[in-house]
Structure 1
Amino acid sequence: MKKRALVCGAGIGGLSAGLALARIGWDVTVFERDEELRTAGAGLNLWPNGVRVLKELGLGPHYAAISASLRTYRTFSSTGEVVAIDDVSDWPERYGAALSGVYRRDLSRMLADALGAGRLQLGRRVVAVAQDGDTVSCRFADGGSAEGDLLIGADGIHSAVRAALFGPQALSADGLVRWRGLFDLADVEVDPHAAVEVWGAGGHFGYMAIGGGRAYWFAAADGITTEPDDARAFFSRWERSSVPAIIAATDPSTIIRNEIRDLVTPLPRWSRGRITLLGDAAHPMLPGMAQGASQALEDVRILKAALAEHEDLAAALDAYERARIPWVGNVVRGSRPLFDFDGQHERVASNCNPILGRYDSIAERRSA
């Protein structure tokens, strides 16, 4: 008889977890609280470590068709000076995949299509989880329930599964906000094959292509936390850079605001009995290193390998935690300093790309 997995949450981590376990013979159902696939966000920067997982799941050609591969990483000051131009065109050979940008909705749809409609149930909000001996179950707001051998909480930063396992967890309260928007490459004279970071006193702005002739930008600045007009006005003052032209080309209706937070105290364990966590449910992080989605995918890779190797579920979840918790903790900690805008502005003034410098240690773990 097939083992049955219940996955709570149909974000990138949950969908890919469902697909990964189905690939190794599990009977999987992914439950999503919303009536539609979660597509919060605009674009997404997926680094080689994340893309490699998609390739291992057999989705390499599909991902290539919906994404944009990037060849250079350019860093500028807010006054237009070139800080660094880093050639990343050899990353497919060095790291097994290109640096890439993708529209989040396209990525979610690709994963859902690969998973199959029969394994995905929308409008199923988890309100309780329980386990008894060899069975784990979840109960939904609509009164229904499901039972299985394993339950995976992939239900995001405000995870109901995490709260059921470990109680309420305090989230950081720095008041940090990231702004995002979409624009058409044809409307702005920018390099469609470059990821670009622009650093200025008190703020940070980046942009990249995401496939289909589109691009997205992301930005944050001290004190710019509530109104889109304030964000547009702040970054439009960086007149000697490409930023004002990108802001002008952005449809205001595409601009979104996200509070960004991580856990005050990281979880020492992710599992209890037959229930475990992955992605933002386990380790929410600031987007400083653009590793949120890629680290969720790495969770999936290690969990899949552990379940394939260990017949005993407790041994598998223990192996998963031992491999992931120490490593992802480094990434969470490394993502926070990039929101010290003045400190990073000083590093940029010294011709240093803050993000690429931190990525080296992640990328080199391609076989870990």
Structure 2
Amino acid sequence: MTKRAIICGAGIGGLATGICLSRAGWQVTIYEKDTEIRTAGAGLNLWPNGVRVLKELGLGSQYEEISCSLDYYKTYSSSGELVSIEDLRNWRERYGAALSGVYRRDLSRLLQGALENGSIRLGHEITAVERGDGVLCRFANGETAEGDLLIGADGIGSVVRTSVFGPQEFSAGGLVRWRGLFNLDDVDADPLAEVEVWGADGHLGYLPIGNGRAYWFAAAAGMANDTDEVLAHFSKWLGSPVPGLIAATDRSTVIRSELTDFTSPLKNWSRGRVTLVGDAAHPMLPGMAQGANQALEDVKALGNALASCEDVEKALVSYEQVRIAEVAPVVRFSRSLFDFDDQYGLTKSDSNPLFERYDRIVERRNG
């Protein structure tokens, strides 16, 4: 008998889950609340752990075509002093993949293209979940869907999560990140390097994302809400590469995102035949650039658990036990990188705090 999987949410995690399960013999339907697949944000930083999952899904060569593999990770002070250079050229052999940047929309299109036609249903906003021998989803348009497995990949405001586990408490603090796009030809920037620039009042990073494009991301304590004020703030970092890329930024691409995570992590992600992946399970601040990577690791672990156990409920328990333990330190350290008082104002004696934490958490499983 065909096993039916319902996935709510057509983001990176939901689409990748659909590919993974359909290739394992599941009949997959992905339900997305919007009438088109929208992709918030500009670029994505995929580290070796995330890229390896794409390779295991058979998408490695296609991903290389749309992304940019990086050879160096450079850190500057806001006055332009070079603090450190991390040489990443051996990562392909050492970890099986390079550090890379990709345009979020391009990755979304790649994942959509790997799914069977008709497997994505747009304009289906989930409103309720009913559990029994299987699962039943109710949608705002009046339709319902029944399946043997439900995966909530519906993001930080997950309706699936709330239906099963109730409302969660989110951290407060007014953390904000700004992002924008620019063309590499318009700036003096290394096309094979990701760069972080740290100052006493904030940080800005940027990286190539393929096809001659790059994106920047910025945050600071007390960051203003007005785009003009934000761009003016970072344009004052004279001596660093930042003013040049700010000047080259397409203003229409600049977006503001409020950042949050749980005050306390979920103790369980699964109940019966329902489970969660990605931000629905473990929203995290972008300090370690691991949001999409950890969602992809969820997909891999979920696929492994379902393949190794015929009993769906037992498989979901196994999945959450593995992933909750692995993702917890990533969430904690991602938040610690937004402790601005401790992280800003680097000198040459300092190492990049992102790499310190990546060494301790993610790289340990890359080997």
TM-score > 0.5, shorter chain as reference = yes
- Residue 84 of structure 2 corresponds to 84
Please show how residues 48-87 of structure 1 align to structure 2 within 5 Å: 48-87=48-87
Residue identity (%)? 63
Please show how residues 184-203 of structure 1 align to structure 2 within 5 Å: 184-203=183-202
Cα displacement string for residues 13-54 of structure 1 (whole angstroms, at most 9, x for unaligned residues): 000001000111000011111111121000110110000000
CA distance in 2, matches of 1:260, 1:88: 29
- Residue 25 of structure 1 corresponds to 25
CA distance in 2, matches of 1:238, 1:42: 23
CA distance in 2, matches of 1:139, 1:301: 28
Greater mean alpha carbon deviation, residues 71-80 or residues 113-122: 113-122
Please show how residues 152-163 of structure 1 align to structure 2 within 5 Å: 152-163=151-162
If the length of structure 1 is used for normalisation, what is the TM-score? 0.98
Please show how residues 265-276 of structure 1 align to structure 2 within 5 Å: 265-276=264-275
| Structure 1 residue ranges, 4+ long, deviating more than 6 angstroms after superposition | none
Please show how residues 110-189 of structure 1 align to structure 2 within 5 Å: 110-133=110-133, 135-189=134-188
CA distance in 1, matches of 2:23, 2:63: 18
Classify 1:147/1:118 alpha carbon distance in 2 versus 1 (closer, same or farther; 3 Å): same
Greater mean alpha carbon deviation, residues 269-278 or residues 356-365: 356-365
CA distance in 2, matches of 1:305, 1:366: 17
Q: CA deviation at 1:116?
A: 2.6
Residue type at the aligned position of 2:326 = W
CA distance in 2, matches of 1:203, 1:86: 21
- Residue 248 of structure 1 corresponds to 247
Q: CA deviation at 1:342?
A: 2.7
- Residue 208 of structure 2 corresponds to 209
Contact in 1 for aligned 2:54/2:60 (Cα 8 Å): yes
CA distance in 1, matches of 2:264, 2:48: 28
How many residue pairs align between the two structures?
366
Residue type at the aligned position of 1:208 = L
- Residue 294 of structure 1 corresponds to 293
C-alpha RMSD of the superposition? 1.0
- Residue 218 of structure 2 corresponds to 219
Contact in 2 for aligned 1:176/1:225 (Cα 8 Å): no
Q: CA deviation at 1:225?
A: 3.7
Give the 3-state SS of the residue equivalent to 2:344 in structure 1.
helix
Matched, 1:333 2:363: no
Flag structure 1 segments of 5+ consecutive residues without an equivalent: none
CA distance in 2, matches of 1:304, 1:225: 42
CA distance in 1, matches of 2:350, 2:79: 14
Cα displacement string for residues 302-339 of structure 1 (whole angstroms, at most 9, x for unaligned residues): 00000000001121011101100011011000101111
Give the 3-state SS of the residue equivalent to 1:365 in structure 2.
helix
Give the 3-state SS of the residue equivalent to 2:118 in structure 1.
helix
Classify 1:349/1:174 alpha carbon distance in 2 versus 1 (closer, same or farther; 3 Å): farther
CA distance in 1, matches of 2:257, 2:312: 36
Q: CA deviation at 1:231?
A: 1.0
If the length of structure 2 is used for normalisation, what is the TM-score? 0.98
Contact in 1 for aligned 2:164/2:271 (Cα 8 Å): yes
CA distance in 2, matches of 1:305, 1:348: 44
CA distance in 1, matches of 2:131, 2:198: 49
Give the 3-state SS of the residue equivalent to 1:205 in structure 2.
strand
Contact in 1 for aligned 2:77/2:345 (Cα 8 Å): no
CA distance in 2, matches of 1:364, 1:99: 15
CA distance in 1, matches of 2:227, 2:356: 31
Q: CA deviation at 1:345?
A: 2.1
